[in-house]
Amino acid sequence: MIRVGQGFDVHQLVEGRPCIIGGVNIPYEKGLLGHSDADVLLHAISDAILGALGLGDIGKHFPDTDAAFKDADSLKLLERVWALAKERGYKLGNADSTIIAQRPKMLPYIPQMAEIIAGALEADVSQINVKATTTEQLGFTGRGEGIAAQSVVLLVKA
Ligand SMILES: Nc1ccn([C@@H]2O[C@H](COP(=O)(O)O)[C@@H](O)[C@H]2O)c(=O)n1
Ligand SMILES: C[C@@]1(CO)OP(=O)(O)OP(=O)(O)OC[C@H]1O
């Protein structure tokens, strides 16, 4: 049995917040605003897994009205989402993601992100692909007002 899911997330870029993407704290003049650490990439991957499982989205599992998730480490949330897949007998086929950001430059941090994501999903790093693109200075990402991420995940049950 195979199941596919997709996820999409956006967070605003503001001063005075860390820029944590894919579990990596990227040096940058601004960071992502959210109830949690606002890790836009891990949120998109979490939503893709929940989508594949037919279990809704991260807002349903970890409401942003719940103080328990204030400043939450999104890697821990991803691990909790992955536990739901494991409980149901799934392994990761592969996960492919795109970060949509004018700046900062993601490329130097992508190998570290892939290692972190592979660790959370109990997968080999070869099963994880992370890409980045600008939007050629167009739209809210192009103006540097926010960062978006989208992910597709394939789950496999023997
Ligand atoms: N925030 C970003 C955006 C892009 N990259 C890398 O640059 C390449 C070219 O981007 P375009 O938007 O001009 O296609 C892209 O393929 C990424 O490798 C990046 O590292 N960080
Ligand atoms: C992760 C959660 C919970 O802390 O909050 P945010 O960091 O605001 O992220 P979002 O992608 O808007 O939705 C999921 C939330 O419920």
Check: complex ipTM more than 0.85: yes
Instruction: Find the 108 Cα to ligand 1 centroid distance in Å.
Output: 11
Choose among 12, 57, 67, 15: nearest CA to 38. Answer: 12
What span, in angstroms and rounded, lies between the C-alpha atoms of 142 and 103? Answer: 8
- pTM for this predicted structure: 0.97
What's the whole-number mean pLDDT along residues 70-75? 97
Residue 158 has pLDDT above 90, yes or no: no
Cite the beta strand spans of the chain per DSSP E. 2-14, 19-21, 24-26, 31-33, 91-100, 128-133, 146-156
Question: Nearest C-alpha to atom 10 of ligand 1 is from which residue?
Answer: 133
The first and second tokens of residue 54, run together, are 């037919």
Q: Is the CB of 106 under 6 A from ligand 1?
A: yes
Q: What is the CATH number of the domain that holds 18?
A: 3.30.1330.50
Give the count of domains, the chain: 1
DSSP classification of residue 107: G
Range of the domain at 151: 2-156
What's the whole-number mean pLDDT along residues 59-70? 96
3-state helix, strand, coil in the chain (%, to 5): 35, 30, 35
Instruction: Find the 147 Cα to ligand 1 centroid distance in Å.
Output: 13
DSSP classification of residue 69: G
Residue 138 has pLDDT above 90, yes or no: yes
- Among the bound ligands, name the one nearest to the CA of residue 138: 1
Instruction: Find the 122 Cα to ligand 2 centroid distance in Å.
Output: 23
Secondary structure (3-state) at 104: coil
How do residues 83-103 score in pLDDT, each as one tens digit?
999 999 999 999 999 999 999
Query: Which residue ranges have their beta carbon within 6 Å of ligand 2?
Result: 9, 34-36, 38, 43, 58-59, 62-64, 69, 72
Q: Are 52 and 33 in contact (CB under 8 A)?
A: no
Instruction: Find the 121 Cα to ligand 1 centroid distance in Å.
Output: 25
What span, in angstroms and rounded, lies between the C-alpha atoms of 118 and 135? Answer: 27
Question: Nearest C-alpha to atom 14 of ligand 2 is from which residue?
Answer: 59
CA trace torsion 134, 140, 146, 148 (10° rounding): -60
Amino acid 142: pLDDT: 98
Amino acid 154: pLDDT: 99
